[in-house]
Structure 1
Amino acid sequence: MNRLFDKSIVLVCCIAAALGLAVDARLVAAFCLGVIATSLAEVAQDERTRRASDAASYVYIIAAVFVPPFVPFAPLALYDIARRVCRKRVWVALGVCSVFAFALVANLRTNTLTARTLLLAAILSIAATLLSLRTAQLEREQQRMRRTRDELQERALVLETRNRDLADRQDYEVELATLAERARIAREIHDNVGYQLTRASLQAEALRVVHADEPGVAADFADVKHTVDEALQLVRTSVHALNDNAVDLSVQLERIVEGARSDGGPQIELEVMTEHAPANVANCFAAVLREALSNTMRHACAHAVTVRCMEHPSFYQLIVTDDGMGRVQASGRGAAEGMGLASMRERIEALGGTFTAGPRASAGGWRVFATVPKPQGDEGR
């Protein structure tokens, strides 16, 4: 847009400089060719078109040396020459400008053009050159500013991504510490309070037997034992609930994947889409994933492993796929993994689920597919 505005001003000034000349075919041709040449410079996109535009500008200046009516519109060509001048072609541009200056002097001596027209042409040529150089510098600054803006935006996006990763990692560490503390508390209650209550229940039962010939005392000890057993049952229920809350499926799978990742190993992608899974399902899937990754590392030259754990309305699903072994060698790999596959199958079927493992039908590699149904009360959750 800046170039079009500049050229509009230069063109108006060139027309004003040519007003004192007789309107003939040469002047009209000079005007039309000047407009065409300067328009070609604006539509030039590739390198070949730009070279043609530069050549047209140089030819126009040379034509102005031999055809005086071309002189008033020469500033348009000089504007385009100054636009793309570089160190390699600066001497060519200076040479063409010098020839044009000598042409102005020659026309002044021969009175081919009026002094007013030549003076305006000279002033416009200098002004057009300076205007083109100023606009080129402005464009370079704008380009540099856009480049700087893009770099800053890119860095901002990178920092935002890193901050988000750090926040996620921090949340993961906090959750991991919370779950570990819950598990520790559950163990402490089970090992200490549970042991003492069990001991108290046994002592009450022993005292009841000792005082069996005293019905009143025996009944009191029986009540004490019943109360202690109820307290022990409440403690066990609380410990189991606390331990179940301490088992998080996504955390367990993340631990296993992190432990399996290595610099020379395959790329492992983990995707967990479950809100909450029971402790038995979480422990089962963790064991299956551990065995599946172990088999992949030992029996397959995989480059990528994908782990997806999803929760559906009526069942939980675990899918582990890799690209390490094609269908031709599938039977050999299945035999090598026989005991591990049997162990995974037993774990899944113990929860009423289904388990399959084998080569992928659509592509090379291996797939482990396991589903475990939800309890009846969780299906609508």
Structure 2
Amino acid sequence: MKTLLDKVILILLAAFVFVKHFKDMQLVIMIFVMVTAAFLTSYLRMIGNKFSLINKIFVLIAASICIFIPKAVFILPIIIYEAYFDRHYGAGLISFVAIINAFNLFQPQEIIYITFIMILAGYMAYKTDVIDKNRIHIKKIRDEGEIKNELLKHQNIIILEEQDKNIYTAQLAERNRIAREIHDNVGHMLSRSLLQVGAMMVVHKEEAISQELKDLRNTLDTAMNNIRESVHDIRDDAIDIEISVNEMLKPLESKFNLNFECDVENDNMSKEIKYAIINIVKEAVSNIIKYSDNDSVDIRIDEHPSMYQIIVRDYDSLGHSKDSEGEEVEIDHRGMGLDNIIKRAEQFNGQAYFTKGNGFRVFVRLGKNI
């Protein structure tokens, strides 16, 4: 848009002179030629690089025509303007040859005026070029800034999620520590107190004292049971499927490429389901450690509306597993570890399947409703 405005200004400046030399139809034709040249060159440059050569040829031909038709020198400011953008130094040189060639046709002050407009055209082209480059540079900086902001937001989200995960892990660890200390300290003290009361009941068999000791023992028994239940509840709440599986995968990190995905609502799971899933994965991982010669392990734990799904698979990433038999086939012969997986699945109205093809695959479904 800026280039078209510049060219309109150049045409208006040139009009102060060429209206004296063209009359009637010639004037109309001259105005039409200048306007057409101005808009055509801008259009060719705007639509892309594949038309830049056509634009250069057009500018060169227009400059050359001005040598043979001196009256056409009024179009030279437009040619100079385009020559600057195309870095077409040949067209610029021909333009100045054309203005020198027109000395005999125009008065000196008119030649000077046209030359001034040509120089002004070059300056206007330079300023417009600088503005366009600055606009592109600013847009690039703005786009890069938006990209960096998006990356920063994404990184902040990751950091916050990691912080939340660390806090959650620390809370679970603290729960386990509290449960362990209650069990080791308070639990042992209560156990010792129960033994002492029992010994006192053997020594003091008087009815009054014996009844009080019996009441004390019942109170201690109740306290012991309450503490035991509380400790179990704390430990059950502290069980996190994803953290537990990640812990048991550590021995595999040096030998296998691991891919672990866990999509379950840990808070809504019963402790029995948690223990079952953890033990099933533990059995599968134990088999991988003992028997697998492959290089990759995939583990997926997914929650569905009516069931939990567990898939543990070891395989060769290049498809060269020694167990490779083309398509996967279900196996019937199994050891104690796989039998344990089947029994755990059956406890929750589920099924377990074992297949081998490229590696070994454990597929387990556990029902949510026992």
User: Normalising to structure 1: TM-score of the pair?
Assistant: 0.79
The amino acid of 1:370's aligned partner reads V
Give distance in 2, aligned partners of 1:265 and 1:316.
Answer: 25
Corresponding residue to 1:285 among 277, 292, 297: 277
Q: 1:104 aligns with which of 84, 87, 99?
A: 99
Aligned CA distance change for structure 1 residues 163 and 32 (closer, same or farther; 3 Å): closer
Query: Deviations 1:322-372 (Å, cap 9, x if unpaired)?
Result: 77466616459x689865533433333344433334369xxx886543333
Compute the displacement of 1:239 (Å).
0.7
For residue 356 of structure 1, the aligned residue among 346, 349, 353 is 353
1:150 maps onto 2:126 in alignment = no
Structure-2 separation of matches of 1:259 and 1:106: 89
What is the Cα-based RMSD across aligned positions, in Å?
3.4
> In the TM superposition, what are the counterparts of 1:67-86 in structure 2 within 5 Å?
67-85=69-87
- Which one of 264, 269, 273 corresponds to residue 273 of structure 1? 264
Cα deviation code 1:70-104 (max 9, x no counterpart):
3112222221110132xxxxxx60x4323322321
Is 2:344 aligned against 1:347? yes
SS in structure 2 of the partner of residue 19 of structure 1: helix
Q: CA deviation at 1:234?
A: 0.7
1:28 to 1:154, Cα distance in 2 relative to 1, 3 A: closer
Pairing 1:105-144 to 2, within 5 Å after superposition: 105-108=100-103, 110-111=104-105, 113=106, 118-144=111-137
1:8-87 map, 5 Å:
8-22=8-22, 23-24=25-26, 27=30, 30-31=33-34, 34-35=37-38, 37-45=40-48, 47-85=49-87
Are residues 187 and 29 of structure 1, via their aligned partners in 2, closer, same or farther at CA, if it must alter by over 3 Å? closer
Q: CA deviation at 1:51?
A: 1.5
CA contact (8 A) 2:354 2:363 kept: yes
1:373 to 354, 361, 367: 367
Range with bigger deviation, 344-353 or 27-36: 27-36
Whether 1:253 aligns to 2:248 is no
- Give 2:156's match in structure 1, choosing from 163, 172, 188: 163
Asked if the contact 2:63/2:98 (under 8 Å) is kept, the reply is no
Answer with 232-241 or 47-56: which moved more.
47-56
Does structure 1 conserve the Cα–Cα contact (< 8 Å) formed by 2:80 and 2:91?
no
CA contact (8 A) 2:256 2:296 kept: yes
Change (3 A) 1:38 1:353: same
Q: What secondary structure, in the 3-state scheme, does the structure 2 residue paired with 1:20 have?
A: helix
Unaligned runs of 5+ in 1: 86-91, 377-381
Structure-2 residue corresponding to 1:88: none
User: Take 1:69 and 1:29, find their aligned partners in 2: how far apart are those partners?
Assistant: 15
**Matching residue's letter, 2:326:** V
Query: 2:178 aligned with 1:180, yes or no?
Result: no
Change (3 A) 1:242 1:28: closer
Q: Which range is displaced more, 134-143 or 224-233?
A: 134-143
Compare 250-259 and 156-165 and name the one that shifted more: 250-259
CA distance in 1, matches of 2:251, 2:83: 65
State the distance in 1 between where 2:124 and 2:333 align: 79
The residue type equivalent to 1:220 in the other structure is: E
CA distance in 1, matches of 2:159, 2:209: 65
> Which TM-score applies when normalising by structure 2?
0.81
* Cα separation, partners in 2 of 1:56 and 1:335, compared to 1, 3 Å: farther
Distance 1:322 1:359 in 2: 10
Which residue type is aligned with residue 2 of structure 2?
N
* Aligned-partner Cα distance in 1 for 2:369–2:188: 32
Deviations 1:29-88 (A, max 9, x none): 74365245424334431x321111122112211111112243112222221110132xxx
Q: Give the deviation of 1:257 after TM superposition.
A: 5.2
Identity %: 24
Report the alpha carbon displacement of residue 126 of structure 1 after superposing the two structures with TM: 1.2
Residues 301 and 139 of structure 1, relative CA distance in 2, 3 Å threshold: farther
- How many residue pairs match? The answer is 359
User: Cα offset for 1:320?
Assistant: 4.3
Please, which moves more after superposition, 143-152 or 250-259? Answer: 250-259
Q: Residues 235 and 170 (structure 1 numbering): CA distance in 2 closer, same or farther, change over 3 Å?
A: same
The range that moved more, 225-234 or 135-144, is 135-144
In 2, Cα distance between equivalents of 1:244 and 1:357: 30
Partners in 2 of 1:41 and 1:32 — Cα distance?
Answer: 14
Instruction: Give secondary structure in 2 for the equivalent of 1:328.
Output: coil
Give the structure 2 partner of residue 328 of structure 1.
326
Residue by residue over 1:180-211, the C-alpha shift from the partner in whole angstroms, topping out at 9 and shown as x without a partner, is: 12111111211222222223223333443444
CA–CA distance in 2 between the matches of 1:168 and 1:155? Answer: 20
User: In 2, Cα distance between the equivalents of 1:41 and 1:146?
Assistant: 24
Q: Which runs of 5+ in 2 are unaligned?
A: none
Quickly say closer, same or farther: Cα 1:64–1:348, change in 2 above 3 A: same
Query: Quick one: distance in 2 between partners of 1:131 and 1:302?
Result: 67
Whether the aligned pair in 1 keeps the contact of 2:11 and 2:34 (CA below 8 Å) is: no
- 2:299 and 2:310 in contact (8 A); partners too: no
